[in-house]
């Protein structure tokens, strides 16, 4: 398909609009860029691109995908959710350039709310995707547009990336997006955390169960719902529904509770032991005990109520429930307790404690005179001379190790004393009295 541009005014109108938007965004809009857009509009165009297969849409060159991104963010082209998930067109960056004023307000509001810049970009990217699915601009978004876009993108993520964290990441980005849009004044109500509605899935699972079995278990659930907590009933209903669906697929001969036999419970126990858990791995002992305990309580209650559909015998016993691992109490043995008691009673020396003044004076005197520290403080008295009783008590209080000899004190200086120091007082010498 070739021809002069004069014969295709629609193509030239798109090229002019593309050039003007690039210039308004401060980007290069010369001939190399506009010629690529003109070729794409001529060969494919906004009408022919949606008819291309998904693989062909993703296989387009980068220069053509830039033009496609401009068509999407300006509302001239509505992509599919599969394209947004599989091809990753980076609509957030393109929309930030061509809706710069609204993006600046959005980023400023998000920063005021305390969102990280990376989180802000994720919110803006989610906004660009949900509005692109509706063919609207970022500033024209509504709550209905966000809800419809969430469902479409979540389904596309499940098709192209099953088992990934994409649905959770998308939900978190959309929740923060709604918060920012509410404070920006675009949305009229603040977002609320709501769990996904799986009532249709639960109803479909119960529909696959034999009618009489489903009726008996549903009646039991309705009765115990009046006395148990809502959170407990979620677990009880899930356990009974899983057991009923397993019977429908692995034991088709069971049409009611009265048809259950012990072999069905034993086979179901082996199934639970090998079934993977929601978080990966096998079920823990606590989960196994909760599943089997819920079944045992259900069968016991049905037997006590003596209804039309009751078990024919005891199906679940106490020994079927695995023992839960309980941590042993922590205690100290005799040896550790003895060490702890000795450590608390031992007088721990304090190395940073300042020495008492007599000990400090002796240490300074020993350093100043450089005399051997093993010389006794008082020479041995003659046998005939005995120190007074006061000195004997003082000697008994002296430490066992020898003390250094004091250096002779200088004579008291005359004149005014120095400020901030105590006046030197003559020390009273305790010497033995001379016999008369």
Q: What range defines the domain where residue 98 resides? A: 44-184
Confidence of residue 2 (pLDDT cuts 50, 70, 90): very low
Structure tokens at 83: 């394209």
Query: Are 64 and 180 contained in the same domain?
Result: yes
Query: Are 178 and 205 contained in the same domain?
Result: no
What is the number of structural domains in the chain?
2
pLDDT value for 424? 54
| pLDDT tens per residue across span 190-231 | 888 777 778 888 999 999 999 999 999 999 999 999 999 998
Is residue 3, in this structure, part of any structural domain at all?
no
With CA atoms as reference, report the closest residue to 104 among 122, 120, 128, 126.
Answer: 120
Is residue 142, in this structure, part of any structural domain at all?
yes
Q: Which residue among 128, 152, 184 closes a domain? A: 184
Distance in angstroms (rounded) separating the CA atoms of residues 116 and 114: 7
Structure tokens at 337: 């307790």
Query: Are 51 and 177 contained in the same domain?
Result: yes
Distance in angstroms (rounded) separating the CA atoms of residues 259 and 253: 8
pLDDT value for 101? 93
> Among 73-87, 218-232, 279-293, which stretch is predicted with the lowest mean pLDDT?
279-293
Query: Are 58 and 92 contained in the same domain?
Result: yes
Distance in angstroms (rounded) separating the CA atoms of residues 339 and 316: 51
Q: Which residue among 320, 353, 381 closes a domain? A: 320
Query: Are 130 and 227 contained in the same domain?
Result: no
Q: Which residue among 152, 184, 216 closes a domain? A: 184
pLDDT value for 429? 56
Three-state secondary structure of the chain: CCCCHHHCHHHHHHHHHHHHHHHHCCCCCCHHHHHHHHHHHHHCHHHHHHHCCHHHHHCCCHHHHHHHHHHHHCCCCCCCHHHHHHCCCCHHHHHHHHCHHHHHHHHHHHHHCCCCHHHHHHHHHHHHHHHHHHCCCHHHCCHHHHHHHHHHHHHHHHHHCCCCCHHHHHHHHHHHHHHHHHHHCCCCCCCCCCCCCCHHHHHHHHHCCCHHHHHHHHHHHHHHCCCCCHHHHHHHHHHHHHHHHHHHHHCCCCCCHHHCCHHHHHHHHHHHHHCECCCCCECCHHHHHHHHHHHHHHHHHHHHHCCCCCCCCCCCCHHHCCCCCCCCCCCCCHHHHHHHHHHHHCCCCCCCCCCCHHHHHHHHHHHHHCCCCCCCCCCCCCCCCCCCHHHHHHHHHCCCCCCCCCCCCCCCCCCCCCCCCCCCCCCCCCCCCCCC
Distance in angstroms (rounded) separating the CA atoms of residues 152 and 85: 10
pLDDT value for 198? 83
* pTM metric for this prediction: 0.54
Is residue 431, in this structure, part of any structural domain at all?
no
Does the structure show a pLDDT above 70 at 355?
no
Query: Are 158 and 122 contained in the same domain?
Result: yes
Mean pLDDT along residues 148-176: 92
Mean pLDDT along residues 121-139: 93
The residue with greater pLDDT, 143 or 337, is 143
Is residue 347, in this structure, part of any structural domain at all?
no
Name the range with the highest mean pLDDT among 292-301, 346-355, 357-366, 400-409: 292-301
Query: Are 53 and 180 contained in the same domain?
Result: yes
Is residue 292, in this structure, part of any structural domain at all?
yes
Mean pLDDT along residues 231-237: 92
> Among 140-144, 214-218, 325-329, which stretch is predicted with the lowest mean pLDDT?
325-329
pLDDT value for 40? 92
Share above pLDDT 90 across residues of the chain, in percent, rounded to a whole number? 55
Query: Are 236 and 275 contained in the same domain?
Result: yes
Is residue 215, in this structure, part of any structural domain at all?
yes
Does the structure show a pLDDT above 50 at 5?
no
348 to each of 165, 336, 339, 344, how far by Cα in Å?
A: 58, 19, 14, 9
Query: Are 164 and 247 contained in the same domain?
Result: no
């Amino acid at each position: 398909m070739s021809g002069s541009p004069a014969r295709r005014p629609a193509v030239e109108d798109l090229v002019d609009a593309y050039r003007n938007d690039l210039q308004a965004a401060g980007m290069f809009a010369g001939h190399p860029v506009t010629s690529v857009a003109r070729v794409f509009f001529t060969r494919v165009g906004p009408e022919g691109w949606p008819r291309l297969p998904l693989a062909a849409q993703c296989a387009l060159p980068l220069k053509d995908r830039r033009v496609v991104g401009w068509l999407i963010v300006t509302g001239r082209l509505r992509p599919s959710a599969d394209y947004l998930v599989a091809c990753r067109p980076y609509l957030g960056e393109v929309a930030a350039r061509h809706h710069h004023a609204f993006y600046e307000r959005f980023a400023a509001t998000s920063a005021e709310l305390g969102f990280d810049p990376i989180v802000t970009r994720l919110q803006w990217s989610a906004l660009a995707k949900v509005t692109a699915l509706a063919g609207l601009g970022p500033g024209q978004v509504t709550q209905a547009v966000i809800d419809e876009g969430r469902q479409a993108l979540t389904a596309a993520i499940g098709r192209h990336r099953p088992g990934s964290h994409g649905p959770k990441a998308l939900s978190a980005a959309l929740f923060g997006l709604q918060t920012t849009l509410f404070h920006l004044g675009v949305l009229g109500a603040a977002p609320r955390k709501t769990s996904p509605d799986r009532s249709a899935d639960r109803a479909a699972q119960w529909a696959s169960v034999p009618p009489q079995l489903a009726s008996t278990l549903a009646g039991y659930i309705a009765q115990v719902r009046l006395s148990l907590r809502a959170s407990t009933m979620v677990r009880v209903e899930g356990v009974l529904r899983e057991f009923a669906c397993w019977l429908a697929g692995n034991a088709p001969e069971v049409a009611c509770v009265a048809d259950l036999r012990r072999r069905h419970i034993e086979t179901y126990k082996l199934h639970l032991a090998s079934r993977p858990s929601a978080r990966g791995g096998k079920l823990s002992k606590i989960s196994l005990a909760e599943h089997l305990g819920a079944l045992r309580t259900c069968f016991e209650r049905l037997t006590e109520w003596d209804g039309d559909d009751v078990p024919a015998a005891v199906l679940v016993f106490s020994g079927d429930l695995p023992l839960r691992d309980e941590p042993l109490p922590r205690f100290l043995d005799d040896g550790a307790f003895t060490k702890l008691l000795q450590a608390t009673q031992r007088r721990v020396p304090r190395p940073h404690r300042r020495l008492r003044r007599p000990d400090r004076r002796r240490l300074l005197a020993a350093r100043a005179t450089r005399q051997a520290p093993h010389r006794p403080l008082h020479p041995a008295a003659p046998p005939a001379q005995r120190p007074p009783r006061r000195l004997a008590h003082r000697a008994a209080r002296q430490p066992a190790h020898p003390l250094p000899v004091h250096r002779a004190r200088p004579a008291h200086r005359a004149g005014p004393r120095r400020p901030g120091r105590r006046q030197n007082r003559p020390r009273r010498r305790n010497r033995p009295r001379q016999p008369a």
